[in-house]
Amino acid sequence: MKKKVKYFLIILFGICIEFLRDYCFININLQIEYLENLESNLDVFNYTDSKILYFLKSMSIKSIINLKWILSLLFILFYFLIGLAFSYLSFDSKKYKQFLKLFSCGGLMIIFVSLVIFAFGKLFSLENQINFYYVSLELSHFVQSSLYPISFLLIFYANNKLKISS
């Protein structure tokens, strides 16, 4: 298979995963909101899509939150693998190993910083906890999106081009 076709398939897979992630998490959050409102004895309509509701309807809020954590890790893995596949096609063996090290350490560092910010936020008032949570959430969303492999690939590629030209 030609390289361009492989690139195209990897990009297409990344776009499909991006939409799938968004679809799943929006509907999971809608189901959590619905269940929380039911617990508060509010009269509420469930806006969760029927395809997702089929899997979630018998689950508790705690189980759904655990499912969100599992899905988050799964999507991080997908985007890590997309970055590896793209770099494997793009770089020679030496550059691929350098990229693998940078990409892995960078991703782990972003996840670690996200968790530290989240934990640090627990030391403050509820309003500040929420602010820290949102910063942490944005960092974790970064590694659960195509921005993670794209940004690392572009930076690595540009850095290597600058080294060659200077």
- Quote the pLDDT of residue 110: 97
- Quote the pLDDT of residue 166: 58
Total structural domains in the chain?
Answer: 1
Domain that holds residue 90: 3-165
Confidence check: pLDDT of 165 > 90: no
- Asked if residues 141 and 133 have their Cβ atoms less than 8 Å apart, the reply is no
For all residues of the chain together, what is the average pLDDT? 93
- Asked if residues 149 and 83 have their Cβ atoms less than 8 Å apart, the reply is yes
Instruction: State the Cα–Cα distance between residues 157 and 160, nearest whole angstrom.
Output: 5
The number of angstroms, rounded, from the C-alpha of 116 to the middle of its chain's C-alpha atoms is 17
Confidence check: pLDDT of 49 > 90: yes
- Asked if residues 81 and 148 have their Cβ atoms less than 8 Å apart, the reply is no
Confidence check: pLDDT of 93 > 70: yes
